[in-house]
Amino acid sequence: MPANLVVGAQWGDEGKAKVIDVMSKDTDIIVRYQGGANAGHTVVVKGKKYIFHLIPSGIIYDNKICVIGNGVVIDPTYFLEEVASLDKEGFDVASRTYISDSAHLLLPFHKMIDAAREGSASKSQKIGTTKRGIGICYADKMMRTGIRVGDLHSQASTKEKLNAILNEKNHELKVLYGLEELKFQDIWDEMYTFYDKWKHRIINTSYYLNEELKEGKRILLEGAQGTGLDADFGTYPFVTSSNPTTGGALIGSGVGYHFLEKVIGISKAYITRVGEGPFPTELLDEEGERLRKLGGEYGSTTGRPRRCGWFDVELLKHAVRVNGMNALALTKIDVLSDYDTIPVAVGYELDGKRLDYFPSQGLERVKPIYKEFPGWKSDICGINDFKKLPKNCQDYITALRGLVGVPVHMISTGPDRDHTIILSM
């Protein structure tokens, strides 16, 4: 049976969680494959809002298995807090969640150094991170000094590793940032509290997932962030420190590529971005404020106001290319209902020349070429039949499908699970 993948096609916050939630219904296992508690996945069911940071949103269904893959970085304290709050809501997380033995632990010094670096960086060097320690933890992974969840099975050698890394980190905290040193015992207790509660759920998730696929189970790979934030294909250095794109999904889950069937790229009908970095279609005037208000565009992890702008076809075509996207899900189309006309950037000009791809350098100098589409000026929130959408709205979606070049698989017309149109165009 296949594995399907949900990947962000813009700069994150595209509404992936809603699409994942709708698709989870026909799935057996939902897998988070990268990122950490920097993500904020919002799902609304019958008017009730749930925000997930580390646990896959599939936990909402009571018969699904959730997996935290090897590519995720886990903040143990944050994880336990999220589990406790979900338990309070009546979800039995522990009996339906597995954690990869190869996922890395994100520890207090990662968060402190992330915050200190951001705090001391000059304006042009700031990334605008979530300060959740993500980049520092992935750096340690690549430096081969990180501690993996499965390491905790062997206490003596993990204590030795923690001791070595803490010596380095304390030096950095004290000498570079003038901060207080951390105590070995405090960090060990934090790690071990997590391990003690979860040791029975730590497995080789790559083995487990591939065996389940062979047995006929259906798997959904849940991406965090988006293509524009990918460490390789995003707007480096204004990116996250993992690969949300398809390659990262395979690496971060250990699922064999031959199982992959549908790669669904999620995109808002406009664009938002949080943090620093170039954004060609950004609306810097009151139009941006208007879109932010209409779309309720404030970060679900940090509460920061999101930067807002018009749909960008070149960014989407880039996402189609690097992800091998074969379907598109368009979200928050209802937010555009108030506009007389809707501009779409259908191409770029760089230094006076037409550019027909999303450039790796010089994006801050790119000038979008806009085409205006007539608005529909009526409330479409909750419509779940394409034919019931106003003609101009149907035309807008059909035009985007043509410009981006992949079929539209799903349209979200409102926040709730039921406010969804499923189709293949």
The footprint of ligand IMP (CB under 6 A) covers 12-13, 38-40, 127-130, 132, 134-135, 224-225, 229, 238, 240-241, 274-275
Look up 13 and say whether it is catalytic. Answer: yes
Q: Which of 75, 76, 36 is nearest to 194 (CA)?
A: 76
Residues sharing a CB contact under 8 Å with residue 413, sequence separation 6 or more, in sequence order: 333, 334, 380, 381, 382, 383, 384, 389, 419, 420, 421
Q: How far is the CB of 72 from ligand IMP (least distance, A)?
A: 12
Q: Which of 21, 28, 41, 75 is catalytic?
A: 41
Cβ nearer to ligand IMP, comparing 125 with 378: 125
Closer to ligand IMP by Cβ: residue 76 or 135: 135
What distance in Å separates the CA atoms of residue 311 and residue 306, rounded to the nearest whole number? 15
Q: Which residue is nearest to ligand IMP (CB)?
A: 275
- Which is catalytic among the residues 13, 75, 230, 416? 13
CA angle, corner 130, sides to 229 and 278, nearest 5? 40
Distance CA 149, CA 73 (A): 10
* 41 labelled catalytic: yes
Give the contacts of 292 (CB within 8 A, at least 6 positions apart).
298, 305, 306, 308
CB of 345 to ligand IMP, least distance (A): 20
CB of 114 to ligand IMP, least distance (A): 7
Give the count of beta carbons closer than 10 Å to the beta carbon of residue 175. 9
Query: Active-site positions?
Result: 13, 41
